[in-house]
Amino acid sequence: MLEHGEYLVDRFGQFVTFVARGPWNDPSLRRGSKRLGSVLKDVDQTQPWVQLSCLYGESLMPPDAFEVFVRETARRKSFGLTALAIVLKDTEYPKTIVRQLSAGYEQADIEHQFFDEIEPALDWLASFPVVFDKNQVMQFFNDNTL
């Protein structure tokens, strides 16, 4: 099966960044999970950590990919993920994306919030017990637009 979607992942201490453009299918989610896993191995999983995802385009998934998404999200929670902020950009179907992703995050029992811009997402994540450099994270997202 041909892979859909592209993404970039990085980490700043206990703060994980994820930039992606959909749509997604099973092969792309599996590859993305491996890439995210390689970054998570350097996160101190005995301490809380947060993630900020900026999703471009139509970040939707067919049912088989959704199952992988839920399983991998629950796995991240077991590794200490405390909260996840999601910024949606350049999409014609934000309500559909929010509905699908929310269903997955709720199944995985992850505290999450959706935003239109990076800065309010960072402000929300700052309310959790994770220290991060807001300017450094902003620079990552400014440098990595998909």
Q: pLDDT over 90 for what percent of the chain?
A: 62
- Please state the domain extents for the chain: 6-143
Alpha carbon of 124 to those of 21, 57, 83, 97, 113: distances in Å? 23, 23, 9, 20, 8
Reported as type and span, the H/E element at residue 16 is strand 15-21
When pLDDT is averaged across residues 137-141 and rounded to a whole number, the result is 94
User: 68-108 pLDDT, tens per residue?
Assistant: 889 989 999 999 999 999 999 999 999 999 999 999 999 99
Block residue for tokens 């700052």: 126
Q: What is the pLDDT of residues 25-40, one digit of tens each?
A: 777 777 777 788 888 8
Q: Which tokens hold the place of 31?
A: 């590859």
- Token couple for 42: 């350097």
Long-range contact set of residues 131-139: C-beta below 8 Å, sequence gap at least 24: 131/13, 131/14, 132/12, 132/13, 132/14, 132/15, 132/50, 133/12, 136/12, 137/12, 137/15, 137/17, 137/52
- Looking from the CA of 25 toward its CB, the CA atoms found within 13 Å total 5
CATH code matching the domain that covers 6-143, chosen among 1.10.10.10, 3.30.750.24, 3.30.460.80, 3.40.640.10: 3.30.750.24
> Whole-prediction pTM value?
0.90
